[in-house]
Structure 1
Amino acid sequence: MGNLTATRPPLPWTAPTASDPVSASLRLPGSKSMTNRALVLSTLATGPSTLTKPLRARDTELMAGGLRAMGAHVSIADDERWLVRPHRLVGPAHVDVGQAGTIMRFVPPVAGLADGQVTFDGDPSVRTRPLGPLIEALRSLGVRIDVTGPGSLPLTVLGTGRVTGGEVVIDASASSQLVSGLLLAAPRFDRGLVVRHVGPPVPSAPHLRMTVRMLQAAGAAVDNTTPDVWVVEPGPLTGRGWEIEPDLSGAVPFFAAAMVTGGEVTLQGWPSGSAQPVEVLRSLLQRMGAEVALTTEGLTVRGSGRVRGLHADLSDVSELTPVLTALAMLADSPSVLTGVGHIRGHETDRLAALAREFTALGADLTEAPDGLEIRPRPLGGGMFRTYDDHRMAHAAAVVGLAVPGIELNDVSCTSKTMPEFPALWSAMVTGKS
């Protein structure tokens, strides 16, 4: 597969409409969240690591490239098995974050450990995403950072080869990645790190639990028993083999297809003990009318062809909001989705974009500060703008199963986390590979 980091021309795409219940057994790419965390931990380890079945997509290629720019030896030539050999981190280096929140928040703390200047910038849309609390936290730990743009990016980390560490207070209510970024590098800080969150609840708590679990798997001593406090002791990280799980967020559109069409979709290779919030997803889909089963074959979702409305706080699984909104518009009763005001600061203002694009197709949505109210009614076809946001494309594809004539202005944005999406989706809907 070629390099995915170049500027992509828009790729118009007509979402296929399902004439029959879908029936598919899929092996989807690996988790972006796990792949990028494993790359960072492997770069900071004392010995080599391997990543088995990693995600190859724009976000993960850019992460590998950024770590490589600082001196890590990262080989991603083999799609099934990536190799990371840690090396002394040095500047000058440049990190292109693209649109990836994980890169813009996970790599600056690593750059503080590099000896030399490391500059960061990305796509224009990423310059408005929340980063200020992380910058201030790193400055309070003694890391020199120059912000040269009107927003948080571009910036330059003036690394000295070490970070003293200590205790930091941060408001991470805009993104759990603000905490995860600090924690991932913390074992390499001279004194370790104590992070105290002060402010509204941190969203996407399962992602924080994934960070802690993966740190511990790499040999770090982490205590997260006190709410909103994380203590990481200084010490070496161990190189190891990482088995990357299939991406749960990427699977949700396919599960939604089973629900909309009354079909059945199985995600192959699902582990019995997952670091991703599979039980939260199971509960949400069951409340909307699906049957969900975990067997030796994988994670299977069956639909009846009838979707129920949903009243739910999605703060722990905000990535699912676009697809659950699409399902809610095809449901038999109204839905209220709350707890996701922070996704206004994702690739685009997702709440505003969902309301704008689906209203243009005839939907009855009310945008609230922290969510959406959806009252189902018949929709028509038309142009759907994706705002260079992969989750918007996923939502449009789900509605397109039941509504003919949904025209996406650009489906190439799905390369951010799943370049295969258009082909996999069309093959599932048509039954032709």
Structure 2
Amino acid sequence: MMGAVSAQKKTSAAPFAAPQARGPLRWVQSIPGSKSMTNRALILAAGAAGRSEIFGALRSRDTDLMIEALRSLGVRIRAVSPTHGSESDCLIIDPPSEGEYSGGTVDCGLAGTVMRFLPPLAAHSTGTVLFDGDPQARTRPMGAILDALRKLGVEIEGDSLPFSVHARTDHTPRGGEVEVDASGSSQFISGLLLSAPLYEEGITIKHVGATLPSLPHIDMSVAMLREAGAQVDANLFEHTWSVQPGQLAGRTWHIEPDLSNATPFLAAAAVTGGSMRIPHWPAHTTQAGDAIRDILKDMGCTITTETHADGRRDLIVVGPRGGHRALKPVDLDMSAIGELTPTVAALAALGTEPSRLRGIAHLRGHETDRLAALSTEITKLGGHCEELADGLIIRPKVEAMHGGVWHSYADHRMATAGAIIGLVVEGVEVADIGTTAKTLPGFELMWATMVSEGSHPEAADPEDHR
């Protein structure tokens, strides 16, 4: 557990007093754009010929770090005030002419998408690009993608943050075929794919590791590449992806709501026996967060959708009668949807029977060691969470749980998991709630407003919440 404990971010801010629900919650929560889609669209726009526009882009620490990183390479990016009823700015991206990216310095913060998506693009710069980030980021796995880039003809110094990508000489980086062990992160493959059309021979990637986590994120990269005009061949049986060289065209991107950021709010309905409506839930998506629907159904929730006359589609989740006391246990392989683990672990900790979450050993290399962090924090509050080789087993002890400080470890999803537990357990204080700005700025205000205005002590029947 030392990895999680040592990664705990020091902060002078007072802990967030997680509000306890006074009864079933009935609420409608709008969710900003997907971080995963926003940062992929930014990379693809930066590698295209001509202007691109991104509507519904998330503005958070991770996406702002990506914007500033691209600007340091000479990509012009500006935000235009929303029009036609849009709730967010439109980003306008103009790549440098002739693909002449400049050298610069990139602050990755703690954003895996920046540290892993940008180096393949930086390989086309005319100057050296220096990468660094938060202290915790220096322990995140990077060797697989940096070694792959070396094999593809890119000169790199260093094997983890900080590292440098050196200027191209007299030709475009060669590219070609490369084997990658992406057991530690699917972002190694996505990072290579997103800039592959810029390489002289394109790039063909074969995954050679024992496991391949978060496959939906690779599917998202492939789908967005194809939307941008790239020719991509994917053989999932052989874990091989091939992208042909070619010029991407500037285009308009429309970003979906971040479905993973919606999951804490949906969990609030589950544990209180209330209801939650999330507007603009996509009918078809590559986002891993969409899997929460089936998970909540397995745990006893009622899941419905409502389509409006204009085509907008809302997701409605109604928690079971009795709230957290009626949640059913689960035994889940979460290898493809590891980012949902903190939310599901919090739900399981508030249930009544043991649950097991499997296939998530790779979470030890995320913003923190999430397996150690969840085990530490749930157990510290009087619950029982045991760390396994590839996951967690959670044996609920809700009656024994008590208040205390829930540490976030500079991890946005750890912070939201603590807030979920605080809906049921009195006196939970979430340290460093501000870390949620990584992907969902203003989370604490959204959460506090939901609880203060959405609690209905008199509502005893969740069927009335539809």
Task: Report the alpha carbon displacement of residue 213 of structure 1 after superposing the two structures with TM.
Answer: 0.2
Counterpart check, 1:357 vs 2:351? no
* Corresponding residue of 1:301: 317
Counterpart check, 1:420 vs 2:442? yes
Q: Distance in 2 between matches of 1:182 and 1:209?
A: 13
Instruction: Please tell me whether the aligned partners of residues 72 and 89 of structure 1 are also in contact (alpha carbons under 8 angstroms).
Output: no
Instruction: Please tell me whether the aligned partners of residues 26 and 454 of structure 2 are also in contact (alpha carbons under 8 angstroms).
Output: no
* Corresponding residue of 1:329: 349
* Corresponding residue of 1:320: 340
Per-residue CA deviations over 1:202-224 (Å, capped at 9, x if unaligned) read 10000000000000000000011
* Corresponding residue of 1:275: 286
Instruction: Kindly tell me the number of residue pairs found equivalent between the two proteins.
Output: 424
Instruction: Please tell me whether the aligned partners of residues 79 and 92 of structure 2 are also in contact (alpha carbons under 8 angstroms).
Output: yes
Q: Distance in 2 between matches of 1:118 and 1:128?
A: 20
Counterpart check, 1:383 vs 2:393? no
* Corresponding residue of 1:70: 73
The one of 255, 259, 270 equivalent to 2:266 is 255
Counterpart check, 1:208 vs 2:218? yes
Per-residue CA deviations over 1:83-135 (Å, capped at 9, x if unaligned) read 11111343330010000000000000000011110000000000111110101
Instruction: Please tell me whether the aligned partners of residues 210 and 276 of structure 1 are also in contact (alpha carbons under 8 angstroms).
Output: yes
Task: Report the alpha carbon displacement of residue 290 of structure 1 after superposing the two structures with TM.
Answer: 1.1
Instruction: Please tell me whether the aligned partners of residues 302 and 317 of structure 2 are also in contact (alpha carbons under 8 angstroms).
Output: yes
Gapped runs of 5+ residues in structure 2? 1-9, 82-87, 308-312, 456-466
Task: Report the alpha carbon displacement of residue 65 of structure 1 after superposing the two structures with TM.
Answer: 0.4
Per-residue CA deviations over 1:354-409 (Å, capped at 9, x if unaligned) read 11111111111111121111111121111111111111111100000001100112
TM-score (norm 2): 0.89
1:8–1:54 CA distance, 2 compared to 1 (3 A): farther
Q: Distance in 1 between matches of 2:443 and 2:236?
A: 40
Q: Distance in 2 between matches of 1:412 and 1:69?
A: 26
Instruction: Please tell me whether the aligned partners of residues 15 and 405 of structure 2 are also in contact (alpha carbons under 8 angstroms).
Output: no
Q: Distance in 1 between matches of 2:137 and 2:62?
A: 13
* Corresponding residue of 2:4: none
* Corresponding residue of 2:387: 367
Instruction: Please tell me whether the aligned partners of residues 415 and 431 of structure 2 are also in contact (alpha carbons under 8 angstroms).
Output: no
C-alpha RMSD of the superposition: 1.5
SS in 2 for 1:28: coil
Instruction: Please tell me whether the aligned partners of residues 11 and 432 of structure 2 are also in contact (alpha carbons under 8 angstroms).
Output: no
1:365–1:146 CA distance, 2 compared to 1 (3 A): same
Instruction: Please tell me whether the aligned partners of residues 263 and 289 of structure 2 are also in contact (alpha carbons under 8 angstroms).
Output: no
SS in 1 for 2:371: helix
Task: Report the alpha carbon displacement of residue 281 of structure 1 after superposing the two structures with TM.
Answer: 2.2
Instruction: Please tell me whether the aligned partners of residues 26 and 266 of structure 1 are also in contact (alpha carbons under 8 angstroms).
Output: yes
Percent identical? 47
* Corresponding residue of 1:153: 161
Bigger shift: 28-37 or 282-291?
282-291
Gapped runs of 5+ residues in structure 1? 1-6
Q: Distance in 2 between matches of 1:191 and 1:40?
A: 19
TM-score (norm 1): 0.95
Bigger shift: 160-169 or 15-24?
160-169
Q: Distance in 1 between matches of 2:207 and 2:217?
A: 15
Counterpart check, 1:49 vs 2:52? yes
SS in 2 for 1:231: strand
Amino acid at match of 2:188: L
The one of 250, 255, 275 equivalent to 1:264 is 275
Q: Distance in 2 between matches of 1:154 and 1:169?
A: 24
Instruction: Please tell me whether the aligned partners of residues 80 and 92 of structure 2 are also in contact (alpha carbons under 8 angstroms).
Output: no
The one of 400, 422, 430 equivalent to 1:408 is 430
Instruction: List aligned pairs for 1:94-243, cutoff 5 A.
Output: 94-147=105-158, 152-160=160-168, 162-227=172-237, 228-243=239-254
Amino acid at match of 2:300: G
The one of 392, 402, 405 equivalent to 2:414 is 392
Per-residue CA deviations over 1:158-182 (Å, capped at 9, x if unaligned) read 0216211100001001000000000
